[in-house]
Amino acid sequence: MVMERLGIDLQKISGQNGTFKKSTVLQLGIRMLDVLEYIHENEYVHGDIKAANLLLGYKNPDRVYLADYGLSYRYCPNGNHKQYQENPRKGHNGTIEFTSLDAHKGVALSRRSDVEILGYCMLRWLCGKLPWEQNLKDPVAVQTAKTNLLDELPQSVLKWAPSGSSCCEIAQFLVCAHSLAYDEKPNYQALKKILNPHGIPLGPLDFSTKGQSINVHAPNSQKVDSQKAATKQVNKAHNRLIEKKVHRERSAESCATWKEVQKEEKLTGLMNNEAAQESTRRRQKYQESQEPLNEVNSKISYTQFPNSFYERHQDFTSPDIFKKSRSPSWYKYTSTVSTGITDLESSTGLWPTTSQFTLSEETNADVYYCINILVLLMLVFLALFFL
């Protein structure tokens, strides 16, 4: 909740000077009647009017504010006024010095209570004391003294007037307050007229007394400026501390980030090194596994066939084909068919191969006929397939 900034309270001012001027006291009473009328119209009473609860405006000291609503009471909820009922267990409620007779008796506060309390306050501000101030520790004695004061009006108040002044306005004010019924609405305009019978416009509040004056019309700009400067310095120092803290946090974060990056790079380098070493090991294993094969391949040599094996194919359709030699020069013709299998001439001796075949002339002719027949069948098959 945001509230307007207020100035000094009247308790501090009265504590310095003891009393106020009569004109100031009457002006304060008129201003408080305006406040009470507004509160009462909204079905509430204040119940604790005193100098400590009256504050001057911070920028306009001629305005008076009523504060502290801790004892405020809704006397007329929904237009139904509370009934008069005394309750001794709730007696003497409020500030004992200024509270009303109804509060002493434990009766719920009403509008006449506020008016009565305001009358006691004005008497204290003008005279500097009250008849019961010596017995404040005894609430019953205070109640009796207030009862005697109200019963003996106006003489009981007039005799308290300071020398050279009169309390007739305050005495008449208390007479009107004491004559009010419990649920009666006060005549605020009549009460104001009692305090200002000539209708003089209200002027600035004057709290000076007998050569003493208090400047409440303008705040001390130098003090305010010094407070602002001090506040500004405190804010700057606070901001610097925050900046240093943020800088340290950022530095710590950057260091941590750099360390993490270094860790990642180190891990990446280790992984790359491991991968390179693994590939190197695999290549070495592969080379080692290939060495025996290379040695075997280098040692293997096939039997060299005669050059006549690579001669051009003979024309099997020629009629003289069978008159010529039908086999390469490396065939040996014998009357019997025999197959000889020898080892390779190489030193390894790993791969056996067929080196020589010996066939008879008739067998050789049969083989060539079979080959011709197979070739012709293949040609016919290919022709049928592509057609």
Domain that holds residue 365: 316-386
Same domain, 155 and 236: no
pTM: 0.57
User: What whole-number distance in Å separates Cα of residue 347 and Cα of residue 349?
Assistant: 6
**Looking at 159, 191, 219, which one is the last position of a domain?**
219
- pLDDT value of residue 297: 56
Is 68 a residue of the active site?
A: no
Q: Are residues 289 and 349 in the same domain?
A: no
Please check whether residues 281 and 210 belong to one and the same domain. Answer: no
pLDDT bracket for residue 62 (50, 70, 90): confident
The answer to whether residue 272 sits within a structural domain is yes
Report the alpha-carbon distance of residue 30 to residue 36 in Å, rounded.
10
Percent of the chain with pLDDT over 90: 39
Regarding whether 97 and 25 lie in a shared domain, the answer is: yes
Please indicate, yes or no, if residue 338 is contained in any of the structural domains: yes
Q: Is residue 253 part of a domain?
A: yes
Compute the average pLDDT of residues 206-210: 69
Q: Which of 3-12, 14-23, 247-256, 316-325 holds the top average pLDDT?
A: 3-12
Q: pLDDT band at 140, cuts 50/70/90?
A: very high
Q: Which of 281, 263, 283 is nearest to 273 (CA)?
A: 281
**Is it the case that residue 170 has pLDDT exceeding 60?**
yes
How big is the CA angle at 281 (ends 277 and 283), to the nearest 5 degrees? 115
Instruction: Name the more confident of 385 and 300.
Output: 385
Residue of 9, 48, 102, 114 marked catalytic: 48
Query: Distances from the Cα of 345 to the Cαs of 144, 208, 226, 299, in angstroms?
Result: 152, 144, 118, 11
pLDDT tens-digit profile of 20-53? Answer: 889 999 999 999 999 999 999 999 999 999 999 9
At 226, list the tokens.
């010094």
At residue 146, does pLDDT exceed 70?
yes
Structure tokens of 310? 């690579």
Domain final residue pick, 169, 189, 219: 219
Q: Looking at 159-163, 204-208, 340-344, 368-372, which range is the least confident one?
A: 340-344
Closest CA to 209 of 21, 15, 13, 24: 21
Are 150 and 68 members of one domain? yes
Q: For residues 375-380, give the mean pLDDT.
A: 90
Judgement on whether residues 184 and 241 belong to the same structural domain of the protein:
no
- In tens, the pLDDT along 87-121 reads 989 899 999 999 999 999 999 999 999 999 999 99
Q: Could you report the per-residue pLDDT of 237-293, keeping only the tens digit for each?
A: 767 777 777 777 776 766 666 667 667 666 666 666 666 777 677 767 667 666 666
Side-chain-facing half-sphere of 65: CA atoms under 13 Å: 17
**Is 309 among the domain residues?**
no
| pLDDT at res. 311 | 44
Contact 361/333 with Cβ under 8 angstroms?
yes
Check which CATH number belongs to the domain holding 83 and give it.
1.10.510.10
Residue ranges in the chain assigned as alpha helix (H): 10-17, 22-41, 101-104, 111-127, 139-151, 155-158, 168-178, 188-195, 221-299, 361-386
